[in-house]
Amino acid sequence: MKRRNFLKAAASGGAVAALAAPAIAQTAEKVQWRLTSGFPRSLDTLYGAATLFADEVKAMTNGNFEIQVFPAGEIIPTAQAAEAVGTNTVEMAHTCSYYYVGKDPAFALGTAVPFMLNARLMNAWLIEGGGNDLLNAFFAKYGFIGLPGGNTGVQMGGWYRKEIAGLDDLKGLKMRIAGIAGNVMEKLGVVPQQIPAGDIYPALERGTIDAAEFVGPYDDQKLGFYKVAPYYYYPGFWEGGPTVHFFVNLEKWNGLSPEYQAVIRNAAANANMEMLAKYDYRNPEALRSLVAGGAKLKAFPQDVVEAAYAASNEVYAELSAKSEDFRTIYESQKAFRGEGYLWFQVAEYSFDTFQIRNRTKG
């Protein structure tokens, strides 16, 4: 039935019975799963994407398919979420694949790597460019598949206790930054530290670390970093469009009916869209509030960005030589980057630049 005709039928009452009692609700089996989030409950935009997903799965199946969501660490630590899904300790996780680069560097490409894709281009590569198929062929080796389930948009470059005037100021700097971004910054003299979200503030306050990156204004404000590390740098060139994935145990996924698989795919797609919309709406107000509260907003010096770009290419060459999976996925993403930014240069960049100039004129 065409969508227009369907809506007419629904409005006239002809489709009311079908809508009230869909076939999937009448015949579907009862399913109960557990999902571990990679994020604390306090980060409502990240953690909230999983609860939105679970609510929609339940609603679309008339309560037959229930997914219980647990915050990070309650039943599974974030660092063990991928393994827990692969071994069916839990059926699902909602997390960033780059948390698991210790298993294979290819995991980083499912979320973000330095100087790669922004949020829209990441979605385009994943959904239309075959990127998620490549990732799932890789994820299958670990016993799960992944569905895009959120994106923060380009992130900030983090909080620093002291001003960064140039490359020399990075030498010996202890920074909370993980994964491939940590490898890149290490080449610039930074000492990477892997610290859970809840431990970042006290580490900055005590001087155990000198800097920390997290997400962006909305989340960063909740964690209060500006009180102990006032210099707020942009952009987070290591995370231009980081994707959060729903991981699903492969055996459990294959055991679902096609109808239930469709429900999960659609609920994940909605969560993917809503997370980015929430960040784009909430970050401007949070940024104003942070600056008003004393945060010193600064752009990274050009020599830092240029050196980081060169270091990124060195890291990619090294990792491609070590991991065939990394090389395969990276080459696909890199090829699309060239094409995607060709279009953005013509359309998005020129339009946005004009709009931004006009905004500054009032």
Q: What is the pLDDT of residues 324-361, one digit of tens each?
A: 999 999 999 999 999 999 999 999 999 999 999 999 88
Rounded to whole angstroms, the Cα distance separating 98 from 115 reads: 15
The list of the chain residues with pLDDT below 50 reads 1-19, 21
Rounded to whole angstroms, the Cα distance separating 358 from 350 reads: 13
H/E stretch holding 164 reads: none
Predicted local distance difference test score (pLDDT) of residue 12 = 42
For helices 119-127 and 131-139, give the axis angle rounded to 10 degrees: 70
Predicted local distance difference test score (pLDDT) of residue 22 = 55
Predicted local distance difference test score (pLDDT) of residue 243 = 98
Predicted local distance difference test score (pLDDT) of residue 1 = 44
Question: How confident is the model over 75-116, as pLDDT tens digits?
Answer: 999 999 999 999 999 999 999 999 999 999 999 999 999 999
What amino acid occupies position 197?
Answer: A
Note the maximum CA span of the chain.
72
Rounded to whole angstroms, the Cα distance separating 253 from 231 reads: 45
With a CB cutoff of 8 Å and minimum separation 6, the contacts of 28 are 61, 62, 64, 65, 257, 259, 260
Residue 327 · residue 111 · CB < 8 Å? no
Predicted local distance difference test score (pLDDT) of residue 27 = 59
> Which residues are 191's β-sheet partners?
174
Rounded to whole angstroms, the Cα distance separating 101 from 142 reads: 13
Predicted local distance difference test score (pLDDT) of residue 25 = 54
Predicted local distance difference test score (pLDDT) of residue 194 = 86
Residue 268 · residue 53 · CB < 8 Å? yes
Beta strands in the chain (DSSP E): 31-37, 65-70, 92-95, 144-151, 158-160, 174-176, 191-193, 211-212, 231-234, 243-249, 296-299
What amino acid occupies position 273?
Answer: M
Predicted local distance difference test score (pLDDT) of residue 197 = 76
